[in-house]
């Protein structure tokens, strides 16, 4: 007589068998897929041409819209500091097309490696191309998942973008890196211009009335001589990329360039300035002193209309921490409290004047590169609805107040001037 199994054991036995079958199937599938993991889109470095910079010019023949130049890193040469003895650390390729994408695809006939854009650091746009509009270029980058949007954008002023990318540099073996890093150094040490990325332009293009400003770069020396190896062999190079000022746009089209003081004033206004130095004459007209602004903070607020005005008043407050350097004023003692207060007041007045001249320059051209429209939209949304459609006309009429507050933190190791 056969022994009957309890019902619970029959159920458990059936479940166990099904579980074992499923586990075995999972193991088989995993063993098949593991060799494929991570390999479906693998790209080997020796099969890629890593594009570090893009340069966009007008097609000189007029047959196409763009002439595109790419700066490609040559790893075998870039590893050596001096460009290696084995050749240039970079090379450039140039092609034409009605779109940047078309020009890139045409380059496949000139290179043994597929162009790779995930490490692109710099986008250079010639001024004549920028006058026709830069939004189509931003659209290509913003849509392409293979290109990052943290690319630094500059305008080539007085020189073709292609020529700018062909200038060999000494401090950085890859020329695009020197241009990008020089902008960051200027922002941190002088503040005449500031770094602007592709994603910044995309964001501003969608903002409430704000216009774009982009740093401009030119050339010191003869750009035709910039691609020769003799350039990096000289102690005093004959040609160098040189920063200019901020270029301002209207609706994505280049309008002009801010003068140096107004360019720095824009950096102050947008809270981009981190460090700068200002030179002041002595009270008696003999000698000078230098004040270094070591920390800054700018706050902007749009308040409700005052008096008879129907539009908001924009208030700007700039706080500065500074130190005193290079005093050549005879008999000036900066250890005195009244003297320090006078220095602070002078610094406040100079910065306020600089920012005011920037605001007036932009208002005369109806260009809100200051972002005041966006500020009014955030602080006074009801009023902005009434202003939005006519903002370009209203912007020059906006009342504003600029208030600087400075504090001298350091006076150096001396308190008295050596000069007599």
Residue 140: in which H helix or E strand, if any?
Answer: helix 135-143
Q: What is the pLDDT of residue 172?
A: 85
Q: What is the pLDDT of residue 40?
A: 45
Q: What is the pLDDT of residue 338?
A: 85
The token pair that represents 273 in the structure block: 């300035």
List Cβ neighbours of 143 (8 Å cut-off, separation of 6 or more).
Answer: none
- Residue 359's nearest CA partner among 321, 297, 313 is 313
Q: Can you tell me whether residue 105 is helix, strand or coil?
A: helix
Q: What is the pLDDT of residue 83?
A: 46
- Residue 214's nearest CA partner among 245, 175, 260, 181 is 245
Q: Which residue in the block uniquely carries the two structure tokens 């479940």? A: 15
Best-predicted range by mean pLDDT (215-224, 270-279, 357-366): 357-366
Q: What does the pLDDT average to over 88-111?
A: 90
Element counts in the chain: helices (H) and strands (E): 14, 13
Alpha carbon of residue 75 to chain centroid: 26
C-alpha–C-alpha distance, residues 69 and 53, integer Å: 8
Best-predicted range by mean pLDDT (111-115, 252-256, 337-341): 252-256
pLDDT of 415 above 80: no
pLDDT of 391 above 60: yes
Main-chain phi, psi angles of 66, to 5 degrees: -125, 155
Q: What is the pLDDT of residue 158?
A: 94
Q: Can you tell me whether residue 337 is helix, strand or coil?
A: helix
C-alpha pair distances (Å), 312 with each of 103, 315, 376, 386 = 48, 10, 7, 11
The token pair that represents 408 in the structure block: 């001298």
C-alpha–C-alpha distance, residues 155 and 190, integer Å: 19
List Cβ neighbours of 266 (8 Å cut-off, separation of 6 or more).
Answer: 213, 246, 258, 358, 362, 369, 370
Pairing of strands 313-325, 399-410: parallel
C-alpha–C-alpha distance, residues 315 and 352, integer Å: 12
Q: Which residue in the block uniquely carries the two structure tokens 């949007």? A: 149
List Cβ neighbours of 24 (8 Å cut-off, separation of 6 or more).
Answer: none
Q: Which residue has the higher pLDDT, 372 or 42?
A: 372
331-343 residue pLDDT tens: 777 777 888 888 8
Strand order in the sheet with 313-325: 276-281, 288-303, 313-325, 399-410
255-285 residue pLDDT tens: 999 999 999 999 999 999 989 999 998 877 7
Q: What does the pLDDT average to over 187-197?
A: 93
C-alpha–C-alpha distance, residues 116 and 170, integer Å: 25
Alpha helices in 206-336 (DSSP H): 230-233, 260-269
C-alpha–C-alpha distance, residues 164 and 220, integer Å: 11
C-alpha pair distances (Å), 343 with each of 112, 280, 346 = 63, 9, 5
Region for residue 367 given its phi and psi (left: phi exceeds 0; alpha: psi -120 to 50; beta: otherwise) = beta
pLDDT, mean over the chain: 85
pLDDT of 144 above 90: no
pTM: 0.84
């Amino acid at each position: 007589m056969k022994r009957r199994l309890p019902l619970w054991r029959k159920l458990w036995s059936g479940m166990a068998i099904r579980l074992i079958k499923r586990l075995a199937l999972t193991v088989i599938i995993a063993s098949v897929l593991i060799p494929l993991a991570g390999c479906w889109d693998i790209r080997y470095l020796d099969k890629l041409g890593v594009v570090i910079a893009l340069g966009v010019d007008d097609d000189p023949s007029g047959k196409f819209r763009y002439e595109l130049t790419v700066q490609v890193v040559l790893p075998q040469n870039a590893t050596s500091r001096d460009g290696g003895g084995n050749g240039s650390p970079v090379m450039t390729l140039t092609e034409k097309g009605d779109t940047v994408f078309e020009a890139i695809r045409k380059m496949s006939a000139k290179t043994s490696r597929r162009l790779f854009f995930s490490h692109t650091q710099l986008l250079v746009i010639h001024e004549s191309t920028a006058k026709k509009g830069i939004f189509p270029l931003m659209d290509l980058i913003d849509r392409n998942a293979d290109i990052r949007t943290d690319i630094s954008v500059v305008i080539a002023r007085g020189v073709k973008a292609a020529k700018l990318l062909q200038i060999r540099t000494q401090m950085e073996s890859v020329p695009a890196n020197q241009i990008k890093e020089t902008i960051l150094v200027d922002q941190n040490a002088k503040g005449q211009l500031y770094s602007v990325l592709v994603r910044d332009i995309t964001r501003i293009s969608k903002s409430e009335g704000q216009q774009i400003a982009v740093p401009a770069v030119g050339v010191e020396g003869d750009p035709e001589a910039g691609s020769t190896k003799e350039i990096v062999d000289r102690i005093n190079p004959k040609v160098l990329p040189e920063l200019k000022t901020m270029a301002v746009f209207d609706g994505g089209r280049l309008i002009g360039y801010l003068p140096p003081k107004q360019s720095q004033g824009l950096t102050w206004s947008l809270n981009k300035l981190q460090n700068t130095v200002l030179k002041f004459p002595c009270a008696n007209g003999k000698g000078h002193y230098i004040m270094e602004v070591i920390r800054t903070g700018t706050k902007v607020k749009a308040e409700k209309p005052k008096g008879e005005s129907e539009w908001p008043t924009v208030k700007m407050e700039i706080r500065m921490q500074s130190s005193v350097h290079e005093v050549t004023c005879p008999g000036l003692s900066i250890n005195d409290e009244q003297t320090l207060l006078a220095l602070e007041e002078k610094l406040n007045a100079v910065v306020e004047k600089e920012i005011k001249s920037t605001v007036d320059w932009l208002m005369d051209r109806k260009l809100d590169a200051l972002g005041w429209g966006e500020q009014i939209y955030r602080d006074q949304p009801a009023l902005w609805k009434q202003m939005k459609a006519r903002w370009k006309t209203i912007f020059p009429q906006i009342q504003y107040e600029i208030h600087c507050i400075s504090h001298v933190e350091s006076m150096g190791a001396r308190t008295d001037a050596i000069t007599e």
